[in-house]
């Protein structure tokens, strides 16, 4: 994956935005996709665990479609890397799924929020331009 930022060192503000965005999506927040999320899921009641796993599957399928639309030449590679169609994905395929979701959430949700926080004057200028129209 060319734009993989999941191995990056995160600041406190980055971590806060990761947690916030992933909670809003209804999935367990993850800063490091290589960690096993099953331990965290085992601590939850079965009904909540089911909801969280279904929401994660929904988001990784959306992320896969987004990635395939963005870059068709990587589509086939992505599908095999995440174990598309497998009922029991391997550990590497589960990590690839988490990495894919993380990168798409970062690009679409967290990065824009971070840009607004780091450059409020640019955000205010854009807001004025839209109101002038």
Q: Rounded CA gap, 66 and 61, in Å? A: 9
Give the pLDDT confidence of 18-74 residue by residue, as tens digits.
999 999 999 988 888 888 888 888 999 999 999 999 999 999 889 888 887 877 766
Q: What is the pTM of this model?
A: 0.76
What does the mean pLDDT of the chain come to? 81
Q: Give the CA distances from residue 99 to residues 102, 124, 127, in Å, rounded to whole numbers and listed in that order.
A: 5, 33, 33
């Amino acid at each position: 994956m060319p734009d993989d930022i999941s191995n990056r060192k995160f600041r406190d503000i980055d971590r806060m935005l990761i947690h916030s965005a992933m909670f809003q999506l209804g999935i367990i927040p993850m800063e490091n996709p290589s960690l096993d999320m099953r331990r965290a899921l085992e601590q939850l009641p079965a009904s909540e665990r089911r909801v969280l796993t279904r929401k994660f599957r929904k988001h990784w399928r959306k992320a896969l479609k987004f990635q395939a639309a963005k870059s068709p030449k990587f589509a086939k590679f992505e599908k095999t890397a995440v174990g598309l169609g497998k009922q029991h994905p391997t550990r590497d395929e589960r990590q690839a799924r988490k990495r894919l979701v993380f990168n798409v959430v970062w690009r679409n949700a967290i990065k824009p929020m971070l840009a607004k926080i780091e450059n409020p004057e640019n955000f205010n200028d854009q807001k004025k331009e839209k109101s002038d129209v």
